[in-house]
Structure 1
Amino acid sequence: MAEESGKSRALSEEELQDLVASTDSGARNPTGPVGTALAIIAVVWSVFQVILASPWANYLLPGDVINNSRQIHLAFAIFLAFMAYPALKSSPRSYIPIQDWIMAFLGVFTALYGYIFYDKIVQAGGLADDTDKWFALLGLILLFEGARRALGPAMAIIATIFLLYVFFGSSPWVPEVIRWKGASLQKAMSHMWITSEGVFGIALGVSTKFVFLFVLFGALLEKAGAGNYFIKMAFGALGHLRGGPAKAAVVGSAATGLISGSSIANVVTTGTFTIPLMKRVGFSSEKAGAVEVASSVNGQIMPPVMGAAAFLMVEYVGISYVEVITHAFLPAAISYIALVYIVHLEAVKNRMPTLGNRVVSLGRTIGGMAAFFAVFAAVCYAVQFPVKWIVSAVPGGSGWVLSLLLLAAYAALVWVAAQTPDLEPDDPNAETVELPEVGKIYKSGLYYLLPIIVLVYFLMIEQKSPGLSAFWASALLFAILLTQRPLKALFRGEGEMGEKFRAGVIDLWQGLVDGARNMIGIGLATATAGVIVGTVTLTGVGQVMADLVEFLSGGNLILMLVMVGLLSLVLGMGLPTTANYIVVSSLMAGVVVELGAQSGLIVPLIAVHLFVFYFGIMADVTPPVGLASFAAAAVSGGDAIRTGFTAFFYSLRTVALPFVFIFNTDLLLIDVTLVEGIMVAIISTIGILIFTAGTMGYFVSRSRIYESVALVLIAFALFRPGFFMDMIQPPYETIAPAELETALDNAPPGRELRLVVSGPDFDTLEPKDTTVVLTTTDASGAEQLEASGLLLMEETDGQVPMEEPMFGTPYSDTLSSFDFYGDEPVVLSSVQAPADQLPKELIFIPALLLLGLIVMLQRGRAPKEAAGEEAIQ
């Protein structure tokens, strides 16, 4: 059949793997002694990172190696970047040119410069001398070149622009609004390379401590065969439903998103099987690719892994990893539920056929999947009780006892798996499609869940560090890769144990290689992003950006959020998600919080960081550069730009949700009780489904325009009931500022008073307002004010002037942007206390009544529409 106009040729399996390799792990893979040496270096890097994360690191590694682990991490990344990524498209793939060898070794030396000359740098107080500054500059140049090869030109160009701004910020051609005094080469290089303010800052530290182990965990889990198992299970559960291949693609991609932090690898891994099957049941090439893109990219927002960004949030926001993934869970879960509903509506709208010959009810399928996840969660939670009993019974040897019990459970599950044939990848282009039966295949991979249970247990129950949790999960995977083949052979009575063990060793070796090569881009991205972060800290451009955004948005918070989202999308067109998140959050997170406070909205910092992260991942979808969309088009043979726009349309809920949780932090489960959390989860799930139906133009039947508008309005009411309730009843009552101390005396503990502080800005002397929240305690009003650091003076001319809060008190940082020593005083202009307001949940009643009316209208005309469509056919 001739290819349709505008469509590209679908790539072969070999070409697709080359696409993934060239994007994620490097297109160059030399053979012979050089290839073996590079594989050994990659394995050494993986082993070093595993030892570094282990509880025995202090015994196995010298102290100076641990203290300088960031330098060693970057040295491995930069060396492998020059080895694995060719300089140009025309550069050789089968061997490594001499200039790449030279740059690789120079890169290693400059990365390790601070480690090699540690004593000299310490004696100089961290300041670069004349020799240091030139090696630091060489290191930056090599880092940028490595980043250009591994990540594309955008990352290197943006970092170069920021670095030039450091040097030439005082030049007349720099806009006056962002002009600064500039820095000498010596000062800039000290900041960027010698200290931990720039390249070797927080981002590279997170990559070293946490991210590598999770990437390695994913590579080992994939090499063990878990990816194929998850896809088979998804197809067995959902493939027989209308639009089943698309629903299976969504669920399978959510599961493999746990394994792969790369949206492109996720698209290719699951897409080679799901996209042809989606096309067979009636999805166009573009829609099939778009479903795979939307589900694969969203894998990065799904806890407990969430790529590298979750670990960076821990450092940037200052909360625990458990808190980060708790806040991120509900938006991610309802986002995936909405995506399943999107493909369901597409299938129903277009009357797509089912696949295979099995008929199973949708209710039983959903019930079975819900039961599986409930049992899995229950197991993860319940494990703590026997563990606690063993620890108390055998305190000295509990570690050995628990390890033996875990290995016994593993052996038992492998024995169960050995009773069924090994799962082989299916051919999606076969004449007849035989969908796997969950009841027959689920036993074959139950032991793959053990490392995930170990990971979740250590993260959520024991609340160990992410690095240590991933270490124990990866250690179990080491054992699985080495023993799963021999054990199955033993239980099946097949013999050839030695050959099976050798195959396991090869799998483990390849998993270690893949884990290291997949980390090259992330290591360079976090290091290069450190230059941008270093520029912000050195030049103070962050405050300038705040003033600029405030000027452009006119102080309107919605408009400012739109601008931040667009900035994330634009930067993300050339940056990987992690680097994009680092750049935008460094520049804009504080701006959103500050301008939100000026607008009277208290925005939690985690909400802003998740906002930036969500828009960062959307860049992988959005044309003209959305890499995941191009990968999906390469699989489907469809048009890449149309695939990207369709995927963006399918991802509208990922665009809408960040705006929702900025204004309704209940969605992030912030300060909610268990009962409130369950209610929020139920209502937000209903809300996202209704929003999806509104944007898809189909609910019970095809929606009229006014019905679609009404559905979106209902969804808004369910997500933000407070918006309408505040219009009916004011949420706050105003208290005279002079009466604040009395109000604190009379208020019960735990009440939140909103204080509006007004006065001149320290930098511009322009008047501004900032809202702060004061939570009452059982102390007296005077004691509460003293503890908070808010120093109020006597009322003068109807105003209550304020003195600057003492350093170290709760509001000293928040109010530091005011000029307390100018002619115009800083005053407490308003005090608001929560008013007695009806429960905002009452808004759900009219919203659900309106929903019922739409259901009745659509049900009334559904039979006529169905009859009309049948007549046309």
Structure 2
Amino acid sequence: MADKEEIKYLTEEEQQELIEKYDPEAGTRKLTGILGYIAFFGLLAFSLFQLYTAVFGVFTAQIQRTVHLGFALSLIFLLFPGNRKKRQKGKFQITWYDGILAVLSIGVGAYWPLFFEDLVMSVGRLTNLDFAVGLIAILLVLEATRRAVGLPIMIIAIIFVLYGIFGEYMPGFLSHRGLSLDRLVQTMFFTTEGILGTPLAVSSTFIFLFLLFGSFLIRTGVGQYFNDLSIAIAGRSIGGPAKVAIFSSALQGTISGSSVANVVTSGAFTIPMMKKLGYKKEFAGAVEASASTGGQLMPPIMGAAAFLMVEFIGNGITYWDIAKAAAIPAILYFAGIWIMTHFEAKRLGLRGLTKDEMPSRKEVFGKIYLLIPILAIVLLLMSNITVTHAALYSILISIVVGFINKAARMKFIDIIYALVDGARTALAVAAATAAAGIIVGIVTKTGLGLKLANGLIELSGGYLIPTLMLTMVAALILGMGSPTTANYVITSTIAAPAMILLGVPDLPAHLFVFYFGIIADITPPVALAAFAAAGVSGGEPIRTGIESSKLAIAAFIIPYIFVLSPELLMIDTTWLEVIWVVFTAMVGMIAIGAGVIGYWMRGMHWLERIIAVIVGLLLIYPESISDITGIIMFVVLLTLQYVWKRNNNSKPKISAQA
């Protein structure tokens, strides 16, 4: 079998090349000499500024956000090449115009701090210098976004800018009076409704600190520990390496903000293991891609989008409300992948890892203290302290744990590198949220959100299910090629209002578009995470994307369920009701998994598969009649499978001689 060829693990250089190929955020220059020192200390200063304001309090909104933006833009133009294809690996290639753009970015970042009083007193009247600086800021944000995040979100932002300017020429309900260039610039850079709006506000406070927390966690050695712990727990079970990939990716997702990076770093280890065991290339890649993408849906971090959700929803909702609501759907998502890989392994007759292939469980569980920072941040976020202080305390706890870990003891220089790495990770997020601010600003000024919402409702005839389906398609398209934070900002601004107009509560509506924006990473034809997994497995990318979508079927079903019945989000329920919802939903995922794979205790007929999926849907939907009907049908299906297996096993074996 081709899939049982000699397994080759990717080197660190090969992993980095693959990440850079599919993740624009990773494609930075390797600067040397004086420019290398400038970039290094610039990143360090960026982190120190953010820590200073986290400890002593943020500056006025415009100052905090423009300084944050200035740091990010200037460092992006130093570190991210204008043309990634021409970048020579291992050599710095910085052009004269990169230097000019970096200097202009510093000027933009310093403008509000230097002229704060004058700008506040001007009451929206722009001088020629104000206009020039604001226009430059818009152009710098668009170019930095292209370099650090990718072309799709820059194109979307430009389309919205053009829509804002030429609105009077738009057809039908899209038409509006149009914004003058002067008013556009004023909105984008001299109010908190554009570039300096809510997305950048969250980036300049909460998101940066949690990215910094993730950077410190990696330095403690917790990333490698996730792999070891996953093998110790799941390695011996049927199809063990696939379950290791799921468990490890779920854990990695708590500290990673990138599906692609998660795929490559975890998959470089797990995908070859799955291929060695007998999984097909495409299925092995799909397991890793779907699990890694699901990491963005897993509390407590959720790709940093949870903090944006708090600001966007408002109405007194807290971070903990969102994390709690997202818990059951995330568990069901990973349970669905786990169940399907189990049935696939049974269908193919695959074993788990042998004792010799397993790490020492005693050694692995002896390092369980490495998980203390993650446990700490969950407990801190559940308490009454601010999100900012929760992140700060968790960083300090990570440092303490890093000093305790004998295998990779953290030194002072590691703290410095963690600060630098955290700032580097934040660059793309800052650019993406600034670009998202442009989109939000245009939507606010033109009333486009309400217009699109009414348009979607009119197109669906005013019915909820068709509206949800159209919203899903919109979220999948808007989410293609966008990082988690920008992805959520765009989909929640454009797609969620239609659902809210039809009476869907804010939290289910926002989680709905968030889910479909995230799984765009594994949905063909773009499917960046699936393509990255195919790069590791050697499989065909589109087929890997299709397999990923099958494994992630829970993500296509569950959002509809929690919109129709918010009990799945633990809204207005008791703990007994929550336990019952989780139990029936888990049983439902078993039925759906069996139906999708086509195997339970034996191969299933196509009619059985359809019935199994229907049974699963009945059980996931938290309603008494559907639960009772689903349980009865599940017991019938399970009994038929058991009886067949018993009868088949009890038949006398006919010897070869007979």
TM-score tier, shorter chain, comes to over 0.9
Amino acid at match of 1:106: L
CA contact (8 A) 1:701 1:858 kept: yes
Higher helix share: 2
1:711 aligns with: 612
Maintained 8 Å contact 1:224/1:507: no
| 1:84 pairs with 2:6 | no
How far off is 1:614 after superposition?
0.4
Map Cα deviations across residues 432-481 of structure 1 (whole Å, 9 max, x no partner): x52113233211x2332222232122111x23222210111112223444
Q: Of 440, 454, 458, which aligns to 1:551?
A: 458
In structure 2, the residue corresponding to 1:308 is in which secondary structure? helix
Partners of 1:212 and 1:272 lie apart in 2 by: 27
Query: What is the alpha-carbon distance in structure 2 between the residues aligned to residue 635 and residue 865 of structure 1?
Result: 40
Structure 1 residues 419-818: aligned runs within 5 Å: 434-443=357-366, 445-460=367-382, 462-481=383-402, 483-484=403-404, 488=406, 504-594=411-501, 596-597=502-503, 603-720=504-621, 722=623
- Greater length-normalized contact order (CA 8 Å, ≥ 6 residues apart): 2
Q: Which residue of 1 aligns with 2:256?
A: 260
Residue of structure 2 equivalent to 1:49: 50
Q: Where do residues 820-859 of structure 1 align in structure 2 (5 Å cutoff)?
A: 841-859=624-642
Aligned residue type for 1:441: V
Which range moves more in the overlay, 13-22 or 292-301? 13-22
For residues 364 and 644 of structure 2, the distance between their equivalents in structure 1, rounded to whole angstroms, comes to 43
Distance 2:162 2:106 in 1: 24
Residues 197-252 of structure 1 deviation map (CA, whole Å, 9 limit, x = unaligned): 00110111111111111111111111210011111011011111110000011011
Contact 1:700 1:858 survives alignment (8 Å):
yes
CA contact 2:216–2:395 (8 Å) conserved in 1: yes
Q: Give, as a single letter, the amino acid of the residue that structure 1 aligns with 2:371.
A: L
Q: CA deviation at 1:700?
A: 2.5
Which secondary structure does the structure 1 equivalent of 2:179 belong to?
coil
Equivalents in 2 of 1:452, 1:866: separation in Å?
47
Aligned residues: 647
Alignment of 1:159-174 (within 5 A): 159-171=157-169, 174=170
Deviation at 1:338, TM superposition (A): 1.7
Gaps of 5+ in 2: none
Deviations 1:569-604 (A, max 9, x none): 11222322221211111122222111x23xxxxx21
Within 5 Å, which residues of 2 pair with 1:167-182? 167-171=165-169, 174-182=170-178
Q: Are the equivalent residues in 1 in contact too, given 2:27–2:80 (CA < 8 A)?
A: yes
Q: Deviations over 1:786-836 (max 9, x none)?
A: xxxxxxxxxxxxxxxxxxxxxxxxxxxxxxxxxxxxxxxxxxxxxxxxxxx
Shift of residue 177 of structure 1? 2.2
Q: 1:124 to 1:248 in 2, by over 3 A?
A: same
* Counterpart residue type for residue 477 of structure 1: S
Higher Rg: 1
Taking the aligned partners of 2:328 and 2:40, their CA distance within structure 1 comes to: 40
- Structure 2 residue corresponding to 1:70, chosen from 65, 68, 71: 65
State the distance in 1 between where 2:244 and 2:11 align.
Answer: 22
Residue number among 124, 136, 139 corresponding to 1:138 in the alignment: 136
Residues 10/148 of structure 1: CA separation in 2 closer, same or farther (3 Å cut) = farther
Q: 1:290 to 1:155 in 2, by over 3 A?
A: same
Shift of 1:92: 4.9
Shift of 1:77: 1.1
Q: CA deviation at 1:67?
A: 5.9
Q: How does 1:171-250 map to 2 (within 5 A)?
A: 171=169, 174-250=170-246
TM-superposed CA distance for 1:863, in Å, is 5.7
- Kept in 1, the 8 Å contact 2:212–2:418? The answer is yes
Shift of 1:843: 4.3
Alpha-carbon distance in structure 1 between the residues aligned to 2:434 and 2:629: 52
Residues of 2 paired with 1:709 and 1:866: CA distance? 26
- Supply the distance in 2 between the matched residues of 1:283 and 1:340 (Cα, whole angstroms): 14
Between the aligned partners of 2:207 and 2:161, the Cα distance in structure 1 is: 26
Give the Å deviation of 1:842. 4.7
After TM superposition, the structure 1 stretch with the greater mean CA deviation from structure 2, 624-633 or 204-213, is 624-633
Tell me, yes or no, if the aligned pair for 1:621 and 1:644 is still in contact at 8 Å: yes
1:354 shift after superposition: 2.6
The one-letter code of the counterpart of 2:28 is A
When the two structures are superposed, what TM-score results if normalisation uses the length of structure 2? 0.93
Shift of 1:859: 2.2
2:581 corresponds to which letter in structure 1? V
Cα contact 1:16–1:634 (8 A) shared by 2? no
Partner SS, residue 299 of structure 1: helix
Aligned residues of 2:66 and 2:112 also touching (Cα < 8 A): yes
Contact residue 3 and residue 275 of structure 2 kept, 8 A: no
The answer on whether the counterparts of 2:474 and 2:495 sit within 8 Å (CA) in structure 1 is: no
Taking the aligned partners of 2:507 and 2:3, their CA distance within structure 1 comes to 48
**CA shift at 1:697, angstroms?**
1.7
1:746 maps to which residue? none
User: 1:3 Cα shift?
Assistant: 10
Q: Name the SS of the counterpart of 2:482 in structure 1.
A: coil
Question: Are 1:108 and 2:96 counterparts?
Answer: no
Aligned to 1:125: 123
Percent identity between matched residues is 38
The letter for the 2-side match of 1:199 is I
Shift of 1:162: 0.4
Supply the distance in 2 between the matched residues of 1:236 and 1:542 (Cα, whole angstroms). Answer: 49
Q: 1:127 to 1:328 in 2, by over 3 A?
A: farther
For 2:380 and 2:595, locate their aligned partners in 1 and report how far apart those are by CA, in whole Å: 41
Structure 1 residue aligned with 2:272: 276
**Alpha-carbon distance in 1 for matches of 2:45, 2:487:** 29
**1:31 maps to what in 2?**
32
Question: Contact 1:271–1:292 at 8 Å: present in 2 too?
Answer: yes
CA distance in 1 between counterparts of 2:105 and 2:343 reads 53
Distance 2:396 2:124 in 1: 38
Structure 1 unaligned runs (5+)?
358-432, 490-499, 598-602, 723-840
Q: Secondary structure at the match of 1:620?
A: helix
- Cross-structure match for 1:98: 96
- Report the CA distance shift for 1:211/1:866 in structure 2 as closer, same or farther (over 3 A): farther
1:682-734 Cα shifts (integer Å, max 9, x gaps) = 12222222222222222222222222222222222223364xxxxxxxxxxxx
Q: Distance in 2 between matches of 1:623 and 1:707?
A: 28
What secondary structure, in the 3-state scheme, does the structure 2 residue paired with 1:442 have? helix
Q: State the Cα RMSD in Å.
A: 2.5
- 1:349 Cα deviation from its structure 2 partner: 0.8
Whether contact under 8 Å (2:10, 2:268) holds in the other structure is no
Change (3 A) 1:210 1:865: farther
Q: Is the 8 A contact 1:293 1:647 kept in 2?
A: yes
Verify the 8 A CA contact 1:294 1:647 in the aligned structure 2: yes
Offset, 1:178: 0.5
Deviation track 1:247-299 (CA, whole Å, cap 9, x = no partner) reads 01101111111121211111112111111110111111111110001111101
Q: TM-score, normalised by structure 1?
A: 0.71
Quote how far apart the aligned CAs of 1:865 are: 6.8
